[in-house]
Amino acid sequence: MAEKQAYVREVQDLIDEGIPEDVAVQVYQFLVERFERAHHKPEVKDFRAELSELHKSERRYFRDCVDDWLSDMPFPIELTWREVKFKPNRISRCEICSDYFYDVSRNGRKVTCYKGSYCEHEYEVRRKRPGTVIDPIYKRKVNEVSVDMAPDKSDKRGNAALTEMERAAWEDEQDYGIPDPDMFDKLR
């Protein structure tokens, strides 16, 4: 049997009213996206502060926005600000895609958004690597060999590296736009 997800009370109330679980979660994500379009701030704390101030000082406007946006969506029951308790302090930013999302988890510590399983999977993969989640350190190091494409005539090492690179390109039968090195010998 699948483990039942524990949600914050606002979402659980919507589920109890008969709205499917995934729709109840997406109602809050939809509201966050709408508020982000109307009152976008680049930092999470500034965005939360803006919405908290709006919620406190311009309560009627805040509630009208929620009601208008909810009326645009076809739900099985009519939703208003009374059923959808939107709390600005529950807004977070996804560690992977950096989008805002409404954290509906019971403990309020979710770090990835609810836009499918990509961000959750990617977070788990990055979390297991050394480094930070945003800038992981990869185990495989790519070897780079710098080659002077126009070495001096007296530079034996540079000419040998360039010739080796050209021959390897021709042996791999890949067209890198490099002429056949033996072609110049034939012209002389």
Domain locations in the chain? Answer: 9-115+122-127, 142-188
Q: By three-state DSSP, how is residue 136 classified?
A: strand
pLDDT digits 0-9 by tens, 57-102:
999 999 999 999 988 888 778 888 988 888 888 898 888 888 888 8
Long-range contacts, 32-39 (Cβ 8 Å, 24+): 32/91, 32/100, 32/101, 32/102, 33/100, 34/65, 34/69, 35/65, 36/100, 38/65
| Cβ atoms 120, 134 nearer than 8 A | no
Q: By three-state DSSP, how is residue 7 classified?
A: strand
What pLDDT is recorded for position 49?
92
Q: If pLDDT is split at 50, 70 and 90, which confidence band does 1 have?
A: very low
Q: If pLDDT is split at 50, 70 and 90, which confidence band does 107 have?
A: confident
- For residue 81, with 0-12 CB atoms within 10 Å meaning exposed, 13-18 middle and 19 or more buried, which class applies? middle
Residue 187 has pLDDT above 60, yes or no: no
Alpha-carbon distance of 50 to 41, in angstroms, equals 8
Q: By three-state DSSP, how is residue 44 classified?
A: helix
Residue 2 has pLDDT above 60, yes or no: no
Residue 43 has pLDDT above 70, yes or no: yes
pLDDT digits 0-9 by tens, 20-40:
888 888 888 899 999 988 888
| Listed ranges 7-11, 127-131, 150-154; the one with the highest mean pLDDT | 150-154
